[in-house]
Amino acid sequence: MASKNRFLVRNPEKGDLNQYWYSKGTIEALVLEVVEFGGEGTAFLSTPSIYFSTPAEIRQKCKVFDIDTAWKKDPGFVYFDFNKLDDVPADLHGTFAMVVIDPPFIMREVWEAYAMATAARLLLQPGGKILATTIAENEELMAELLDVKPCVFKPSIPHLVYQYKLYTNYDSPNLNQRNPEIPEDHDGA
């Protein structure tokens, strides 16, 4: 039997926090991306499944920013409410090589919060990498706020009704390929 993802097994999704986890296969693909491009330090903004699935030697240089205190004992956990960006610790500003973002909502106001203080611009080093997921209809918004473009690879989020796209501000050979988890008629490729 194929091995299970420990994070997915241990953390049932909480509806009140809009928790929709990526599939095991998508987690594995995004972890590879972090290992390749964010190994010097990645901020996982509302993307705990990727943080907790990243190899320990890299994870120790990373932080997971989330409102769910279930993970507060983890040394990389930073309590984060996108409505309270002033609370992001100053010593973390501008320190990350990469940010990985999947907010609990898809609307403009929420993406403005994640982009602005963002988490991305606030936490990211100059020239840092951005990897974000949201709906296809947000393509223009994502370009405007974060200067990111959609990849061929689309994430699988099994309990979400929308098919998300994955957006980056850099070219990634791995993400230039279809995700075999997504049926071609949903893929638009």
Ligand X SMILES: C[S@@+](CC[C@H](N)C(=O)[O-])C[C@H]1O[C@@H](n2cnc3c(N)ncnc32)[C@H](O)[C@@H]1O
Binding residues vs ligand X (CB under 6 A): 17-22, 46-50, 66-68, 80-83, 102, 104, 157
CA-wise closest residue to 114 among 122, 98, 96: 122
In a 13 Å sphere around the CA of 30, the CA atoms on its Cβ side amount to: 34
34, 42 in Cβ contact below 8 A? yes
Q: Assess contact for 80 and 45: CB atoms under 8 A.
A: yes
Residue (89 or 126) nearer to ligand X, CB: 89
Give the nearest distance from C-beta 61 to ligand X in angstroms.
18
* 16 or 127: CB nearest ligand X: 16
In angstroms, give the least distance from the CB of 168 to ligand X.
Answer: 16
Q: Which is nearer to ligand X, 50 or 99 (CB)?
A: 50
Handedness of CA 141, 51, 14, 81 (dihedral sign): negative
Q: Tell me whether residue 83 or residue 127 sits nearer to ligand X (CB atom).
A: 83
Joined together, the tokens standing for residue 74 give 């983890």
Closest contact distance (angstroms) between CB of 36 and ligand X is 19
3-state helix, strand, coil in the chain (%, to 5): 40, 20, 40
Beta carbon of residue 17, minimum distance to ligand X (angstroms, whole number): 4
Using CA atoms, how far residue 31 sits from 36, 88, 91, 108, 166, in Å, is 9, 24, 25, 27, 14
Of 7 and 37, nearer to ligand X (C-beta) is 7
In the complex, what is the shortest distance from the CB of residue 49 to ligand X, in angstroms, rounded to a whole number?
Answer: 3
